[in-house]
Chain A
Amino acid sequence: MAAEILAEGVCYQYSQSSKMALKDVDLRIRKGEFVAIIGPNGSGKSTLAKLFNGLFVPTKGRVTVDGLDTRDRENVWKIRQKVGMVFQNPDNQIVATVVEEDVAFGPENLGVPPEEIRKRVDEALEIVELKDFAQKPPHLLSGGQKQRVAIAGIIAMRPDYIIMDEPTAMLDPVGRKEVINTVKRLNREEGKTIVLITHFMEEAVEAARVIVMSEGRVVMEGSPREIFSKVGKLKAIGLDVPQVTELAHRLRGQGLAVRNDVLTIDEMVECLCPLL
């Protein structure tokens, strides 16, 4: 039995809707991978995320987690233990009246012993820099602080698969970098599988693989370098590339000899130094 999340021929239709939100999606997320999903508004990213942890079941096709079919009610519990999720809107995620209880909620539900929970909660709050807020009611926090609470929750839960739906949307630039570094560390050092849904192209660059959704379908898939070198194609579906990638593209257009697959500032510096 393969350790992976597998979507085969998945279609999803919301009951109130006449349109399919997902159409024939085939995807494989291998255990230990770091995958980013990008796509325009309404392209089906959040819907897909909710199919991955069994919150939704496919209208057609199937989703399996480590071989467990999400349609089988008996598997729900096991799947929720394996696949943790940070939702797009942290407001919908907060369940407790005190920050640290909220962070403890996930591991408590998994039956983690109390001392271990204490340790995990402290650690998680430390990582997201909310230790001073441990005793506060979450609804009194700022937008970005709430988002950090949700991220701490998933860190404390430690599921094998971590699905994050726009986890950094409301964070300041330094906070965003910190979250991405934490995500990378969870992936590299603890072998956690990461699925990161984002509208920040600079974040997608950090993943090993990028999946591009458009109108309910997977339309592109590849390494960040492959994906972001297709500037025109991405722009045509409403997406973008990092600023330095865009700059390289424009400079090439002006006849300057720079690579077309620059992704980071340092790569760009390297490219430009011989020319300036």
Chain B
Amino acid sequence: MPIVVKNLTHIYMPGTPFESVALRDVNWNVEDGEFWGLIGHTGSGKSTLIQHLNGLLKPTWGEVIVDGVNISERGVNLREIRQKVGLVFQYPEHQLFEETVEKDVAFGPKNLGLPEEEVTRRVKEALELVGLKYDEIKDRSPFELSGGQMRRVAIAGVLAMKPKVLILDEPTVGLDPRGRDEILGQIVRLRERQNITVILVSHSMEDIAKLVDKIAVMHKGRMVESGTPKQVFKNYEALASIGLDIPQVTHLMIKLKNKGKDVATDVLTVEEAEAEILRAARRKGHA
């Protein structure tokens, strides 16, 4: 299910004192099965952009084409689009509304008209995927959970819909490190198993570097760059000047290089850094 964004501009509250141009002429092609990271400073337009991909927001200008269909055209069945393009919001509370966790996660699948056993099966599976125990949590109110627990329930609600395109807006905010790794790991596995497309909005350069195939960079409403992690993270100064960063280990390698050490700097993960440093140390007979 490819998604094509063409000349997309979005202006919030046009003609009012609060008018704000959140997207300017954005062009973006998301191919089937790709794993994208979307990064950019606070207020750069990430959430605005992804809310266009399932029709929650309408372009002021330009178009969004999902699976060949221009979704802002009249007569398009948005319910169908939203079932295919699942979106986990930045604020999980905005997504939770039922009185128990079970009902909350079941809401989507129920609306799809699935039989009850299938709904329950999906709810269990989804809660498991996000690291929650079905029996322990199903009867609790989603509003009486810790911040991280709430987020997991919100993610489960979208997973239970089994979307073809999964869009996650800062899904690991508020998760503890293990929870973060578990959920991201599940998303990677889900993608491999079901070949879904994933778009991950995140401020964690480490997570982005580790996971995605391609990165798109937003700056003041424009998409200023897109490419592989190695291409994008090559240019530290440019990223820092627009509020972004590179992974800690990439910093380390650049600093070592600047000290005259013979190490590669296109290192993005702890594992890669380990291998590269061992290689360099062995050459010097230190390991």
Contacts and interface: CB of A to CB of B under 8 A. Distances in A.
Interface of A: 14, 16-17, 39-42, 46, 88-89, 91, 135-137, 140-145, 147-148, 166, 169-176, 199, 201-202, 235, 238-240, 242-244, 246-247, 250-251, 254-257, 265-266, 268-269, 272-273, 275-276
Given A41-B146, A41-B176, A273 B278 contact: no
Contacts of B263: 276
Contact of A272 (B173, B176, B277): B277
Contacts, number: 163
A268 B177 contact: no
A243 B206 contact: yes
Contacts of B286: 256-257, 275-276
A238 B90 contact: no
13 contacts: A41-B174, A136-B18, A142-B43, A144-B203, A166-B174, A174-B41, A174-B245, A202-B248, A239-B177, A239-B178, A242-B248, A247-B274, A269-B259
A141 B286 CA distance: 53
A201 B180 CA distance: 13
Contacts of B20: 140
Given A88-B174, A140-B20, A256-B278, A173 B148 contact: no
Given A42-B148, A173-B205, A173-B245, A250 B42 contact: no
A14 B146 CA distance: 12
Nearest to A15: B144
Contacts of A268: 252
Interface residues of B, number: 58
Contacts of A242: 248
Contact of A144 (B43, B248, B256): B43
B42 A175 contact: yes
Question: Which residue of A141, A166, A247 has the most chain B CB atoms within 10 A of its CB atom?
Answer: A247
A225 B124 CA distance: 41
Contacts of B12: 140
Contact of B249 (A172, A175, A243, A257): A243
A150 B273 CA distance: 37
B280 interface: yes
